[in-house]
A = this chain, B = another copy of it.
Amino acid sequence: MTLSEEDYIKAIYHLSKGKTAAVSTNAIAAQMDTKPSSVTDMIKKLSEKNLVFYKKYKGVSLTESGSSSALAIIRKHRLWEVFLVEKLDFAWDEVHSIAEQLEHIKSEKLIDKLDVYLGSPKVDPHGDPIPSKDGKFKKSIKKLVSELPIGAAGICVGVNDSSAAFLKFLDKNKIALGDTLQILDKEEFDGSVQLKTSHATIRISSQIASNLFLEVSENQ
């Protein structure tokens, strides 16, 4: 599989995640920052290789084989992200583009050993789950504060918007990656949320609540 093929497979995986419908040519083009005609060409090639199902004008979806290829790439991407943050001391928001390169390194033994070295982590630094070698993983256990019910608790694992202003807000309220937060109350009127942090009890606006990800246990 070429580098470019891998990128397409990954894009299709991400676009079909959740949804059941086939993925459109234009959606892939937008995601990959390329032209729809290029996508059509590549889709034909992937279809030849039985990595995707493809019916002209009807979009694509991954085959069993395509899906497990996608999961293997995502596994590599996320393991490398853990390495970059945990071992090389990168900030969690600067690892993505480097991991996009590292995910294409071909060596099964390398990934096996990296996994062992990192202690077989189950989530990456953004809180996204890492597929196991056989392509299985827990369903997304990363939720926005705004999506969680009163009482739910979780570990802060990421943000949607990493603007300086937002990060400054978190800093001022002593909320950091890895902190445990609990939802004490939700205001229906404006969507604001009362939150218990390790340092205090604060009220955050709905804007903040829909930018902050918590890792919660599966049944929530």
- Which A residues form the contact surface with B (CB < 8 A)? 84, 87-90, 94, 97-98, 101-102, 105-107, 109-110, 113-114, 117
Whether B105 pairs with A90 at a CB distance below 8 angstroms is no
For residue A160, give the distance in angstroms from its CB to the closest CB of chain B.
24
Whether A113 pairs with B101 at a CB distance below 8 angstroms is no
Minimum CB distance partner of A104 in chain B: B101
Q: Looking at the complex, which one of B98, B105, B113, B114 makes contact with A110 (CB distance below 8 Å)?
A: B98
Whether B101 pairs with A107 at a CB distance below 8 angstroms is yes
CA distance A101 to B101 in the complex (A): 10
Q: Which of A89, A94, A110 has the most CB of B within 10 A?
A: A110
Whether A98 pairs with B88 at a CB distance below 8 angstroms is no
A sample of 15 cross-chain residue pairs with beta-carbon separation below 8 angstroms, ordered by A number, consists of A84-B110, A87-B87, A88-B114, A88-B117, A89-B117, A90-B109, A90-B113, A94-B109, A97-B107, A98-B105, A98-B107, A98-B110, A101-B105, A101-B107, A102-B102
Q: Looking at the complex, which one of B89, B102, B109 makes contact with A113 (CB distance below 8 Å)?
A: B89
Residues of B within 8 A of A89 (CB): 113, 117
Residues of B within 8 A of A102 (CB): 102, 105
Q: Looking at the complex, which one of B87, B101, B106, B107 makes contact with A106 (CB distance below 8 Å)?
A: B101
Please list the 4 inter-chain residue pairs (A to B) with the smallest Cβ-Cβ separation, ordered nearest first: A88-B113, A101-B105, A98-B107, A98-B110
